[in-house]
């Protein structure tokens, strides 16, 4: 990982496994902060800024084009409702209803309206903010309350990916579209999980996803000491390396709850995270 660019996404099959703890400690463990960038793509609930406390220098609104119908031109033919796979348009006898919160801004309805009755207008769905935290370049996206379209905001956050250095992407939990958008294009994906049956169940789904995307992966086992050995046995069987183990520890939990990154609260952890980078480097260089 000496030169060039390496993108490492940090994902988890389920929420609350310590994904942000891992992502923030990774960026803070590196001494050459100018070469590090953190992108928080968990746009529904971004929280990396609570730990890194960046100073934001730039803010941009993110909009998607939603249709607007000129009923003077509309013949109520129903074509727009037919082509909208997201059910964001309904055509009644003499009324066209648009449900902006369901609209994905794909433009198919305006393109296919035979009367040219549909124009598009921008609808703000969230913001992207960027800045610095102790030299680390920081970008996050925030989906507005009530909005559902996370992918356009994630894509806008990812437009900020630096052309070189180490880029850490904090991904939203789960295995849905926003996760695919955030993880896509990564060189490596770290999957943070905990040693419980729930952790295992969600890890299996996350591994399937990253394998479909053809991205090498490894596991961070958080809260080790609770639960059972199911995750370890699964990783062993599937040849998935467990690259870091973090014990269930009241001191770690206390720092986390106060918004203090692990490597700042307990600096001895810095070496473990540097070791994590080395192990990822070895896998990528194989
Ligand atoms: S496709 Fe155009 S003309 Fe037909 S119902 Fe929709 S807006 Fe009206
Ligand atoms: S822009 Fe696409 S998603 Fe939105 S209403 Fe038109 S067809 Fe449906």
DSSP 227: S
Residue nearest to atom 5 of ligand 1 (CA): 76
Q: Is residue 108 in contact with ligand 2, taking CB distance under 6 Å?
A: yes
- Quick one: pLDDT at residue 138? 97
Q: Is residue 88 in contact with ligand 2, taking CB distance under 6 Å?
A: yes
Tokens of 5: 């660019």
Q: Is residue 119 in contact with ligand 1, taking CB distance under 6 Å?
A: no
Shared domain check, 174 and 53? yes
**Domain-located, residue 236:** yes
**Domain-located, residue 184:** yes
Q: Is residue 84 in contact with ligand 1, taking CB distance under 6 Å?
A: no
**Domain-located, residue 279:** yes
- Quick one: pLDDT at residue 147? 86
Q: Residue-wise pLDDT tens for the chain (286 aa)?
A: 556 899 999 998 777 888 999 999 999 999 888 899 999 999 999 999 999 999 999 999 999 999 999 999 999 999 999 999 999 999 998 999 999 889 998 999 999 999 999 999 999 999 999 999 989 999 999 999 988 889 999 999 999 999 999 999 999 888 788 899 999 999 999 999 999 999 999 999 999 999 999 999 999 999 998 888 999 999 999 999 999 999 999 999 999 899 999 999 999 999 999 999 999 999 999 8
**Domain-located, residue 37:** yes
Shared domain check, 58 and 89? no
- Quick one: pLDDT at residue 225? 86
Range of the domain at 101: 71-116
Shared domain check, 193 and 87? no
Shared domain check, 196 and 85? no
Shared domain check, 31 and 105? no
**Domain-located, residue 280:** yes
Cβ neighbours of residue 232 closer than 8 Å, sequence gap 6 or more:
195, 221, 242
Shared domain check, 109 and 47? no
Q: Which of 66, 80, 82, 114 has most ligand 1 atoms within 8 Å of CB, for mutation?
A: 80
- Quick one: pLDDT at residue 211? 95
Expressed in angstroms and rounded, the spacing between residue 69 Cα and the centre of ligand 1 is 8
Ligand 1 atom, smallest distance to 79 CA: 1
Expressed in angstroms and rounded, the spacing between residue 65 Cα and the centre of ligand 2 is 9
Ligand 2 atom, smallest distance to 89 CA: 5
Question: Could you tell me the CA-to-CA distances from 12 to 27, 101, 130, 275, 282 in Å, in that order?
Answer: 18, 27, 24, 20, 22
**Domain-located, residue 121:** no
Helix ranges (DSSP H) in 159-249? 177-183, 197-212, 230-238
Expressed in angstroms and rounded, the spacing between residue 70 Cα and the centre of ligand 1 is 9
Question: Tell me, what CATH number does 109's domain have?
Answer: 3.30.70.20
Residue nearest to atom 8 of ligand 1 (CA): 74
The phi and psi torsions of 191 (rounded to 5 degrees) equal: -110, 115
Ligand 1 atom, smallest distance to 109 CA: 1
Shared domain check, 206 and 136? yes
Expressed in angstroms and rounded, the spacing between residue 241 Cα and the centre of ligand 2 is 43
- Quick one: pLDDT at residue 2? 52
Residue nearest to atom 3 of ligand 1 (CA): 74
Shared domain check, 211 and 101? no
The phi and psi torsions of 165 (rounded to 5 degrees) equal: 105, -165
Shared domain check, 178 and 98? no
Shared domain check, 244 and 205? yes
- Quick one: pLDDT at residue 1? 59
Shared domain check, 147 and 18? yes
- Quick one: pLDDT at residue 238? 95
* Of the residues 116, 150, 185, the one at which a domain ends: 116
Rounded CA separation 5/3 (Å): 7
Shared domain check, 219 and 195? yes
Ligand 2 atom, smallest distance to 99 CA: 5
Dihedral of CA atoms 130, 132, 133, 136 in degrees, nearest 10, equals 100
Expressed in angstroms and rounded, the spacing between residue 108 Cα and the centre of ligand 2 is 6
Q: Are 14 and 117 in contact (CB under 8 A)?
A: no
Question: Tell me, what CATH number does 177's domain have?
Answer: 3.40.50.300
Ligand 2 atom, smallest distance to 80 CA: 7
Any long-range contacts for 45-49 (C-beta under 8 Å, 24+ apart)? 45/172, 46/140, 46/141, 46/142, 46/170, 47/20, 48/20, 48/23, 48/24, 48/138, 48/140, 48/170, 49/138, 49/140
- Quick one: pLDDT at residue 33? 82
**Domain-located, residue 177:** yes
Q: End-to-end CA distance of the chain, in Å? A: 12
Q: Are 38 and 138 in contact (CB under 8 A)?
A: yes
Number of domains in the chain: 2
Rounded CA separation 51/28 (Å): 10
Ligand nearest to the CA of 65: 2
Phi-psi region of 4 (alpha: psi -120 to 50; beta: other; left: phi over 0): left
Residue nearest to atom 6 of ligand 2 (CA): 109
Q: Is residue 149 in contact with ligand 2, taking CB distance under 6 Å?
A: no
**Domain-located, residue 40:** yes
């Amino acid at each position: 990982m000496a030169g060039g660019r390496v993108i490492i996404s940090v994902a988890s099959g389920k929420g609350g496994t310590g994904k942000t703890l891992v992502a923030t400690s990774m960026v803070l463990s590196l001494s050459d902060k100018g070469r590090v960038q953190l992108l928080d793509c968990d746009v529904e609930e971004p929280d990396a800024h609570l730990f890194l406390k960046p100073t934001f220098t730039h803010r941009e609104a993110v909009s998607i084009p939603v249709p607007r119908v000129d009923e003077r031109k509309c013949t109520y033919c129903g074509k727009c409702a037919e082509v909208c796979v997201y059910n964001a348009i309904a055509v009644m006898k003499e009324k066209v209803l648009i449900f902006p919160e369901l609209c994905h801004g794909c433009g198919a309805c305006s393109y296919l309206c035979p009367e040219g009755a549909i124009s598009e207008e921008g609808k703000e769905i969230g913001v992207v903010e960027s800045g610095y935290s102790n030299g680390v370049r920081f970008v996050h996206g925030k989906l507005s309350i009530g909005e559902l379209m996370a992918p356009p905001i994630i894509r806008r956050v990812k437009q900020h990916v630096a052309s070189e250095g180490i880029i850490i992407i904090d991904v939203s939990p789960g295995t849905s579209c926003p996760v695919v958008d955030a993880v896509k294009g990564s060189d490596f994906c770290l999957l943070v999980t905990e040693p419980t049956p729930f952790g295992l169940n969600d890890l299996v789904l996350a591994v399937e996803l990253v394998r479909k995307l053809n991205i090498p992966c490894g596991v961070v086992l958080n809260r080790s000491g609770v639960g059972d050995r199911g995750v370890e046995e699964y990783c062993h069987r599937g040849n998935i390396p467990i690259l870091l183990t973090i014990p269930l520890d009241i001191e770690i939990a206390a720092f986390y709850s106060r918004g203090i990154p692990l490597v700042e609260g307990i600096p001895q952890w810095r070496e473990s995270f540097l070791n994590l980078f080395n192990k990822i480097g070895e896998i990528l260089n194989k």
